[in-house]
Amino acid sequence: MSERVEIFEVGPRDGLQNEKRPIPTAEKIALVDTLSRAGFARIEVASFVSPKWVPQMADGAEVLAGIARAPGVRYAALTPNLRGYERARAAGADEVAIFGAASEGFSRANINATIAESLARFEDVAAAARADGIPMRGYVSCVTDCPYEGKIAPGQVAEVAEKLWGLGCYEISLGDTIGQGTPETVSAMLAAVSQVVPVDKLAGHFHDTAGRALDNIEAALAVGLRVFDAAVGGLGGCPYAKGATGNVATEAVVERLTKLGHDTGLNSAVLNEAAALARAMRG
Ligand code: HMG
Ligand code: MG
């Protein structure tokens, strides 16, 4: 029997956050509504960050209000601080995510905080999410390479992942933010992180800058990961990581996983429809 691997769709958030053209809210809603028919259990649809930092995500509440919620799908949002958490809750996000980094340089550039300061901020979000019974995911960025600091030691990633896990995240997503990881560096990083967070609570989040994302997913599968983030149409990038191109494309991940004998439970025809929409939205 083929083994299930879940794809966590991040296109409407990670994919669109970096687009230069202001994308009309209605187009974002249409993309999410198409994705909702594809069979995902979780779709990241918004981030409640400062609109001065990421203008493209300023309409998160309108997106959440406008989508047709499909039963069994959890609609997720990024929340950098308590303010973001409260906005996400008011907008009806089903789950939230705190996002830190394994490198000080990226932490400062992305969220204007040291790693220690960011963890202190996340404590407030974690306490509120716990009180409200809202599932909280955790991201670690720059798990192999950082645009400011170069190579990142696996121990640094493990340290931050362990802290996010300790804050109550139900899953830790490990981000190769600038797509410079290799199967070797990814495996070494996962060997360290899986010492401190159970491997079935880890997700892989690969950007495809150097065209190695699918090979990195294979390396992570070998370690035991069964959840991968991807963006339909290969949308994406990070405004605070120069050179970061799109997330690995969801449809490419499905194809590779299928070849490897895994089942994603996704409907390829609907996925292709969403990919066409996503590509048309790109600047
Ligand atoms: P700051 O400037 O240090 O914070 O930003 P501040 O508290 O001084 O706030 C600045 C202004 O933003 C203030 O407004 C606040 O009220 C407002 P003003 O008084 O100037 O009018 N503000 C907010 N407004 C709305 N919602 C909020 C909020 N918080 C403050 N939640 C901050 C700190 C964290 C807010 C900022 O740095 C920020 O928003 N950063 C987010 C950057 C971002 O979204 N990056 C992309 C997502 S991460 C990513 O893509 C990586 C990932 O995909 C994994 C991977 O690939 O590795 C997850
Ligand atoms: Mg990302």
Report how many domains make up the chain. Answer: 1
Query: Is 239's pLDDT higher than 70?
Result: no
**Residue 244 — very low, low, confident or very high, per pLDDT cuts 50/70/90?**
low
Inside any domain, residue 221: yes
The CA 212 to ligand 2 mean position distance, Å, reads: 15
> Could you tell which of 18, 44, 49, 50 is best to mutate to test the pocket of ligand 1, judged by most ligand atoms within 8 Å of the CB?
50
CA distance 266 to 272: 11
> Is the CB of residue 183 less than 8 Å from the CB of residue 216?
yes
Tell me which of 34 and 240 has the higher pLDDT: 34
- Residues in Cβ contact with 146 at an 8 Å cutoff, skipping those fewer than 6 apart: 101, 102, 103, 105, 106, 152, 177, 178
* Whole-number pLDDT of residue 2: 73
Provide residues with CB under 6 Å of ligand 1.
14, 17, 47-50, 52-54, 78, 80-81, 83-84, 87, 99, 110-112, 139, 141, 175, 177, 205, 207, 238, 240
Give me ligand 1 centre to Cα 52, in Å.
8
11 CA → ligand 2 middle, Å:
10
Residue 134 belongs to some domain of the structure: yes
Six-digit token string for 207: 């950007």
User: What's the pLDDT tens digit per position in 90-108?
Assistant: 999 999 999 999 999 999 9
- Measured between alpha carbons, how far is 199 from 220 in angstroms, rounded to an integer? 10
User: Does the active-site annotation cover 238?
Assistant: yes
Q: Which domain holds residue 139?
A: 6-281
Q: Does residue 248 contact residue 203 with C-beta atoms inside 8 Å?
A: no
Tokens 């981030």 map to which residue?
47
Q: Render pLDDT for 160-198 as a digit per residue (tens, 0 to 9).
A: 999 999 999 999 999 999 999 999 999 999 999 999 999
State residue 236's pLDDT score: 79
> Quick check: 244 and 209 in contact, CB under 8 A?
yes
Give the least confident one: 145-159, 193-207, 236-250.
Answer: 236-250
pLDDT digits (tens, 9 = 90+) for 105-160: 999 999 999 999 999 999 999 999 999 999 999 999 999 999 999 999 999 999 99
Mean pLDDT computed over every residue of the chain = 96
Q: What's the confidence (pLDDT) of residue 240?
A: 74
Residue 223 domain-assigned (yes or no): yes
Q: Name the residue of 8, 42, 49 whose CB sits within 8 Å of the most ligand 1 atoms, as the mutation to test its pocket.
A: 49
Q: What are 29-84's pLDDT values in tens digits?
A: 999 999 999 999 999 999 999 999 999 999 999 999 999 999 999 999 999 999 99
Q: Domain of 129: which CATH number?
A: 3.20.20.70
Residue 19 lies in a domain: yes
Alpha-carbon torsion (123, 129, 130, 132), positive or negative: positive
Local structure of residue 59 (DSSP, 8 states): T
According to DSSP, the residues that pair with 172 across neighbouring strands are: 138, 202
Q: At residue 267, does pLDDT exceed 60?
A: yes
Q: Is residue 1 part of a domain?
A: no
